[in-house]
Amino acid sequence: MTNLTQASRQLFRRPPDERFASLQELLEHALSFKNRSKNVQESSARFHIQHRAGAIALQLNGAAPCTLNDWSFAQLCSLVSASKDTVNRLRADTAVRVCRELLEQRNAEALSLQALVLDDRHIRAVNGATYTRLWNADLLAMLVEFATDFTPPPKGFNGATGLYAGEQDMFCFMIDPTCWVEIQGEAFAPGFFVWNSEVGRRTVGIATFWFQQVCQNHIVWDAIEFKEFTRKHTGQVHDSMKTIRGIIEALVKKRDERKDRFAAVIKKAMETKYANDGEETLKLLTTTGFSRLLAKKALELAREKGRFTIWAVVDALTQLAREHKHAGTRADADHRAARLLEMAAA
């Protein structure tokens, strides 16, 4: 088992305006950006660096100059082989002359560029010709359709839900809090992370897992069966949508299979006798490792249910475990009680 910190890192670095309350709200935000954005791909000779309002702007195909955000400015500097930190230390007019001259030098190489323009005024990204964009909205729409019953985790200590989108990327943390199943005698629930960037900041990918607990720092505790898939935004990146969908469908299928199997075990436990009477129940519990005092208390609770089935005894032991003050003692008692269910699974 391992502890996963990916969602916790997002929790601490995302400002309030990058947090979303629901998957539907995040999808609507992503759709808005997709509908208001357009991609302009031309030779770098048609990309003109301008000085506007004390900052560097980029003019595309003779249209009005567009502002750059921090990410697209960093990409532009990288494409013209200039240090962003160095350019930032120059006066705006000097920085424009430096970047313009460097871009003209690259023009001799017949460089092809593409810019992602928002509202015809702001440039979200400047990428090379080989970059292939995958829209957040398309990925999220697929999650809404196929990740049924999965929801964000309980809110973190700062109110964040695990759903984020900013200028550079998107990240989703989803779990199924209603599907706790027994795996090797311990309780686990399924979850996954999905991420993407429309601007070239990171890969598109998914990680699935089964976990035991999520704390308010959004650390995923005691995760098992961790599986990860990533794809760069080149060539056939859109094929990753099919792959991610298949991974989610496989997780849902395994969830349903485990849930059905666990339900069958519980049903059998409710129908199978643990002992014929109270005296035999007491004897079996003490020989299994339970103290005589705990066994007597469990016996009384089981007697109230009318018969000494495996489920009645396990349920009684689980209720008594909650009375322990120390978490370690409770966990040990729960583990011992869960082992009795193996009798029904056999």
CA pair distance 181, 258, nearest whole angstrom? 6
Q: How long a stretch of residues is the chain?
A: 346
Least confidently predicted of 93-107, 128-142, 186-200, 255-269: 255-269
Residue scoring higher pLDDT (303 or 98): 98
Q: How is 243-256 classified by DSSP, letter by letter?
A: HHHHHHHHHHHHHH
Residue scoring higher pLDDT (248 or 284): 248
Number of H helices and E strands in the chain, helices first, is 11, 14
The pLDDT, as a whole number, for residue 44 is 73
CA pair distance 199, 168, nearest whole angstrom? 6
Give bridge partners of residue 26 from the DSSP assignment: none
Least confidently predicted of 91-95, 132-136, 157-161, 235-239: 91-95
Mean pLDDT, residues 194-208 taken together: 95
Which one, of 346, 322, 345, lies nearest residue 333 by Cα?
322
Most confident of 77-86, 183-192, 195-204, 275-284: 195-204
Q: Based on the number of CB atoms within 10 Å of its own CB, is 160 exposed (0-12), middle (13-18) or buried (19 or more)?
A: buried
Share of the chain above pLDDT 90, in %: 37
Average pLDDT value over all residues in the chain: 82
Write the pLDDT tens digit of every residue in 122-161. 999 998 888 999 999 999 999 999 998 899 999 988 889 9
Model confidence, pTM: 0.76
The CA-atom distances, in angstroms, between 71 and each of 67, 211, 316 are 12, 35, 58
The CA-atom distances, in angstroms, between 294 and each of 29, 57, 192, 321 are 55, 75, 39, 9
CA pair distance 132, 167, nearest whole angstrom? 17
The pLDDT, as a whole number, for residue 178 is 82
Write the pLDDT tens digit of every residue in 4-33. 999 999 999 999 999 999 999 999 999 999
Indicate the pLDDT class of residue 194, thresholds 50, 70 and 90.
very high
Evaluate whether 188 touches 210 at the Cβ level (below 8 Å): yes
The pLDDT, as a whole number, for residue 260 is 76
Q: Based on the number of CB atoms within 10 Å of its own CB, is 171 exposed (0-12), middle (13-18) or buried (19 or more)?
A: buried
The pLDDT, as a whole number, for residue 33 is 94
Which one, of 38, 60, 47, lies nearest residue 110 by Cα?
47
The pLDDT, as a whole number, for residue 332 is 54
Q: How is 169-221 classified by DSSP, letter by letter?
A: -EEEEEE-TT--EEETTEEEEEEEEEEE-SSSSS-EEEEEEEESEE-TT--EE
The pLDDT, as a whole number, for residue 110 is 63
If DSSP codes are grouped into helix, strand and coil, which group holds residue 296? Answer: helix
CA pair distance 266, 346, nearest whole angstrom? 12
Mean pLDDT, residues 92-98 taken together: 84
Give bridge partners of residue 224 from the DSSP assignment: 210
The pLDDT, as a whole number, for residue 166 is 94
CA pair distance 48, 61, nearest whole angstrom? 8
Write the pLDDT tens digit of every residue in 273-304. 766 666 776 676 677 666 777 777 777 776 66
The pLDDT, as a whole number, for residue 203 is 94
The pLDDT, as a whole number, for residue 265 is 65
Indicate the pLDDT class of residue 328, thresholds 50, 70 and 90.
very low
Share of the chain above pLDDT 70, in %: 79
Which one, of 305, 333, 328, lies nearest residue 318 by Cα?
333
Indicate the pLDDT class of residue 108, thresholds 50, 70 and 90.
low
Q: How is 73-123 classified by DSSP, letter by letter?
A: HHHHHHHTT--HHHHHTS-HHHHHHHHHHHHHHHHTTT-EEEEEEETTTEE
The pLDDT, as a whole number, for residue 100 is 81
Mean pLDDT, residues 243-252 taken together: 93
